[in-house]
Amino acid sequence: MKGGITSGVVYPKLIYELSQRYQFKSIGGTSAGAIAAGACAAAEYGRQNGQTCSFERLKQLPEELGETVAPGKRSRLLSLFQPSPDLRQHFDVLLQVLNKKPHSAIIDMLIRMLTGKIVAVLALLLIGAVLLGPLIQSLSGNVNFWMATGTSLCALVLVGTALWRCAAASAVSRFSMLLACVGIYLLLVIGLKLVSGLAWHCALFGIGLSLLACAVLTWAFILSLVGFLFARSLLAGLHRNRYGFCSGRTMPTPPDSESTSPGLTDWLTTYFDDLAGLKQREHPLTFGDLWGGDLQKERNINLEVMTSAVSQHMIYGIPFREGMPPLCYDPEELKDYFPKRVMDWLARTAVRADMQCGIAPEAYAPDTNIQVGEGTNARVLHRLPHGADLPVVVAVRMSLSFPLLLSAIPLYAVDFSRKGNQLEIDRVRAAKKAGEPAKATLQATRIWFSDGGIGSNIPLHMFDALLPGHPTFAINLKAKHPDIEIKTPEIQDNQSGRIYLPENGGGHLRPWTSPKDEKPLPGLAGFLVSILNTMQNWRDEIQFTYPSFKDRIVQISLRENEGGLNLDMPKETIAALGNAGSMAAHRLINRFHPDGAQNGQGWTKHQKTRLATFLGTMQPGSAALYKTTPVERWTQLASRIDYTQAQMALAKDFLTELDKLGSLGAAQKLSLECAAPKPVAQIRISPKI
């Protein structure tokens, strides 16, 4: 399931409809898709353990998120995103300008910045009026201090109002701007004449022009100062809150607020446990619960999400792969992200995990001590569980860390390339070799984990099989097609503009938008955004038109005011997105399920396409391997690998059979690649994420 912050409201009804026909075996997602994946896994766990209402509960989520928390207040969806107290004002300012056109966004932001510092703005206006007073007094001795200050203040208000009206207009010609300036100028001159009592004189026009220029400069100074103060406090707040407005925890409510809603992570912890039927249990839902009691057997429910280790420039799948170096956490830091129930469980399982790996604080295992900082500033770290003991909510929160909206998560690992750690390991090894007791103290380096969508926003590769034994669906969320409007009421076909699932070999075309470059600045901004989108999405985009991929990716189109960063969507919009998910599920069921409208023909066609792709890549690949090196050479190399006797026998048999596969069709120069759907895929060894 693809990420997209609030776009995740698409998924609950989609999951519910699929649950009525399928049992979920493997579930994956990124960002908001990770929330949906975690909820789906929790509901499936609940269903398999006797809680029959889990998916019904999940189905109701869009309506729950659309409710207002208190009369006249924000939606429950928005209430989940609770900014840090010192960033609340900044959050409210930016919330009003999201997904607006640049011109309107800038004007709204400036107005809210000024109203947020209204006392400072009024004080600056008053100071400006006092400073401009002598300019007016120079006209005549009849003008006293109070008259001059009042006139200056009126001039500042008049100029400010005019500037705001001109800026607020979406399209103002240069001639209209010139007329506005002349009009304001004449009003100022008339005002100066009335205050000074002078006859028409060139001095009036000169002072009026000076007053207009000074008023404009005063407002420029006020805007610059307010903007600087806003930006400075914003940067300081983001740094304190670890590069995000919201940590996910429940924040103290303002004195005038009636809301008692939980924050995102607190709510998710309770919600997952509720779906799984574990609300009364001491610790939260874990991956071990999903996998089943015997961890050596195949997992009952396989949940996987993505996260981005931006400090390492790496993407990781959670649960973490075997052999990955241990990750550690500082309890004082992580308690700002997760409720006490989760932190207590992490502390308990950290002891067990550390003892198993021989890496622990001194109280648990004297062999190795991992810390950050030195001397009196040193902080002992706990190891984060990698496998069965890891809470599902921790994995989901690590995947859902949308930059700046949600705080990045700080974890730690030992960098063994650093000289200090290398010397410490060498010292301990030398001491143990000499039979002396020794304890290593290793310095860890912080790793910032951010949103999984940075590297892969729709990780279809997670559960891909060469020859699938059951359907694997993917849900892509995208902007609506430029030539197809989303119809109302919506219907379940490709012409409705809302749902698209390729039919009859279609889906090989992909629309794209070119950056608008009519003007220099918007053109450059659009070009840079396109570069970032390419870096993020190219791996995902290439799958949408590929044979055996495109036919199982249902695409849901969203309007500009739907999903994404639209945190304050109205109830009707949330309901519409939820219904879109339901329609998408019905399209998949009708195509792939034996009881669907097509009697499962979609699944048969998909398997046929997948088989043709498999044969068209494996057979030529085997033939190419047959031509490279004789099988005897590979068998000789295999004998040098650290295999058991049984494994060695298996390796030799495998290489012999592989050699036979490569020889098939060689004499007749036959190849199965010609019948493979185009473009032809390739098989290669690549790192496991």
Q: Going by C-beta distance under 8 Å and a sequence separation of 6 or more, which residues neighbour residue 468?
A: 606, 607, 610
Secondary structure string (H, E, C) spanning 100-138: CCHHHHHHHHHHHHHHHCHHHHHHHHHHHHHHHHHHHHC
For the segment 174-227, what is each residue's pLDDT rounded down to a tens digit?
666 677 777 877 887 787 777 766 667 777 788 878 888 888 899 899 999 999
Separation of alpha carbons 193 and 196, rounded Å: 5
Which of 12-26, 116-130, 320-334, 497-511 has the largest mean confidence? 12-26
Separation of alpha carbons 154 and 148, rounded Å: 10
Q: Residue 139 pLDDT > 80, yes or no?
A: no
To 10 degrees, what angle do helices 174-196 and 202-240 make? Answer: 120
For the segment 508-558, what is each residue's pLDDT rounded down to a tens digit?
777 787 877 788 887 888 888 888 888 888 888 888 888 888 888 899 999
Q: What is the per-residue pLDDT for 357?
A: 47
Q: Is 239 helix (H, G, I), strand (E, B) or coil?
A: helix
Q: What is the per-residue pLDDT for 171?
A: 56
Q: Where are the beta strands (DSSP E) in 222-287?
A: 244-246
CB 568 within 8 A of CB 78: yes
Give the rounded distance of the alpha carbon of 211 from its chain centre. Answer: 50
Q: Can you read off the two tokens belonging to residue 352?
A: 């067990």
Go through the chain and tell me how many residues it has: 689
Q: What is the per-residue pLDDT for 355?
A: 45
Separation of alpha carbons 145 and 273, rounded Å: 70
CB 335 within 8 A of CB 343: yes
What are the residue boundaries of the structural domains of the chain, listed by start?
102-240, 617-675
Question: Which residue has tokens 């930059």?
Answer: 403
Separation of alpha carbons 40 and 54, rounded Å: 9
For the segment 616-639, what is each residue's pLDDT rounded down to a tens digit?
888 888 887 776 768 888 888 998
Q: Can you read off the two tokens belonging to residue 60?
A: 């109701």
CB 101 within 8 A of CB 560: no
CB 151 within 8 A of CB 134: no
From 66, 84, 78, select the one nearest 404 (Cα to Cα). Answer: 84
Residue 170 pLDDT level (bands cut at 50, 70, 90): low
Q: What is the per-residue pLDDT for 24?
A: 95
Q: Residue 59 pLDDT > 90, yes or no?
A: yes
Residue 407 pLDDT level (bands cut at 50, 70, 90): very high
What's the average model confidence in pLDDT over 451-463? 82
Q: Residue 358 pLDDT > 70, yes or no?
A: no
Mean pLDDT, rounded, of the chain: 85
Separation of alpha carbons 18 and 586, rounded Å: 8
What's the average model confidence in pLDDT over 71-88? 85
Q: What phi and psi values does residue 410 have, to the nearest 5 degrees? A: -90, 120
More confident residue, 496 or 86: 86
Q: Is 624 helix (H, G, I), strand (E, B) or coil?
A: helix
CB 561 within 8 A of CB 507: no
pTM here is 0.87
CB 77 within 8 A of CB 572: no
Beta-ladder partners of 553: 474
Lowest mean pLDDT among 7-21, 91-105, 407-421, 670-684: 91-105
Q: What phi and psi values does residue 512 have, to the nearest 5 degrees? A: -145, 160
Lowest mean pLDDT among 85-89, 249-253, 576-580, 630-634: 630-634
Q: Going by C-beta distance under 8 Å and a sequence separation of 6 or more, which residues neighbour residue 674?
A: 616
Q: Residue 255 pLDDT > 70, yes or no?
A: no
Q: What is the per-residue pLDDT for 673?
A: 85
CA-CA-CA-CA torsion sign (317, 323, 324, 327): positive
CB 463 within 8 A of CB 472: yes
From 176, 252, 184, select the one nearest 214 (Cα to Cα). Answer: 184
CA-CA-CA-CA torsion sign (403, 405, 406, 412): positive
Residue 99 pLDDT level (bands cut at 50, 70, 90): low
Q: What is the per-residue pLDDT for 677?
A: 83
Q: Can you read off the two tokens belonging to residue 269?
A: 């912890």
